[in-house]
Amino acid sequence: MPSPQQPIGSGFRAASTAAEVIKGIDLSGKTAIVTGGHSGLGLETTRALRSAGATVVVPVRSPDRARDMLAGIDGVEIEQLDLMDPASIDAFADKFLATGRALHILVNNAGIQNVPLTRDARGCEAQFATNHLGHFQLTTRLWPALRQAGGARVVTVSAWAHNLSPVVFDDPNFERREYDGWLGYGQSKTANILFAVGVDQRGEADNIRGFSLHPGLIIGTNLSPWTTPEYLRTNDLIDEHGNRVIDPESGRKTAEQGASTTVWCATAPQLDGMGGVYCENNEISPLLTSHDDSIDVMTGRVETAVGVMSYAVDPQLADRLWKLSEELTNSKIQ
């Protein structure tokens, strides 16, 4: 069976913004949830979806802070959610399901990057827990609302950093191997892509389609407070004066440009009837067959590569991850 990772000629570019991608699309009467939708890429995603008429629910750890950052955007509902806390996820999902609303778009956007070794209450490594397991539990708990939509998309923000590591099924939580923050991040981003494949496998019959994406290299998103100025300069993300370098063709984007691929995956009519694919630059990415050795964030030099590693879109690995995630979260589709 041929890989679905085939570009379709979207007509958009790496420099396209979320506003350009959503122009002409009407989301009136539809409901979207955007985790971390109050800052950075999430804020631009919220802004775009709301501009097209969607009601947007933004679940965050700090509602008061989110209210300040979302001031001026009407039609946004702010709720409490901590992706590291299973009880918080269940409480949010129960509250949303109790409204009886259908969920048309779920954007799993929130994430952390290259953090010191931390574990959740279940003993799961923080990046795997936040970036993947929390969103896995959230999505499965919200499945009845996604099914009710009669056509829904689950969009999970991944990254080119999936090149750094597959999911290490024998030790996903670094219990028997030395911890490295970048390897943990890379593993979680691979999990995001495999999760989108798994969503699509299980949701296609109900027209619930899964997508994942790389937004680009965007600084100033609060993703990782541990990223140093030296790292940013080494990778041409800031210049010698500390100003951001914007070069969309090399992946160095503004937040408005970075959010465009999220919004494209969530709304583009071109993707109707499709799913289970990884996207970047507002296009389905080609399949890579070998590791790109130019990508090595651990030694300080990053060159972006267009494409997705085959281990990240392998249906059998997606199924294996789904079963592991069910075990770790005690959450299944209802």
Q: DSSP letters along 283-309, please?
A: SBPPEE-S--TTEETTTTEE----SEE
Note whether 286 and 267 are within 8 A (CB).
no
Q: Which of 15-24, 43-52, 96-105, 250-259 has the lowest mean pLDDT?
A: 250-259
Segment (H or E) for 196: helix 181-203
Q: Which two tokens stand for residue 128?
A: 């795997």
238: DSSP letter: B
pLDDT of 297: 46
Q: Give CA–CA dist 332/324, Å, rounded.
A: 11
Global pTM value: 0.91
185 is catalytic: yes
Set out the domains of the chain in order of their start, with CATH numbers.
18-325 (3.40.50.720)
Task: Please give the backbone phi and psi of residue 284, each rounded to the nearest 5 degrees, phi first.
Answer: -70, 130
On the question of pLDDT at 290 being above 80, the answer is: no
Angle between helix 181-203 and helix 315-329 axes, rounded to 10 deg: 100
279: DSSP letter: E
On the question of pLDDT at 260 being above 80, the answer is: yes
Among the listed residues 185, 231, 278, 311, the single catalytic one is: 185
Q: Which of 87-101, 142-156, 221-235, 256-270 has the lowest mean pLDDT?
A: 221-235
Q: What is the pLDDT of residues 139-186, one digit of tens each?
A: 999 999 999 999 999 999 999 999 999 999 999 999 999 999 999 999
Long-range contacts of 95-101 (CB under 8 A, 24+ apart): 96/33, 96/57, 96/142, 96/145, 97/141, 97/142, 97/144, 97/145, 101/31, 101/145, 101/148
Q: What is the pLDDT of residues 50-104, one digit of tens each?
A: 999 999 999 999 999 999 999 989 989 999 999 999 999 999 999 999 999 999 9
Q: Which has the higher per-residue pLDDT, 254 or 82?
A: 82
The residue-averaged pLDDT of 297-324 equals: 81
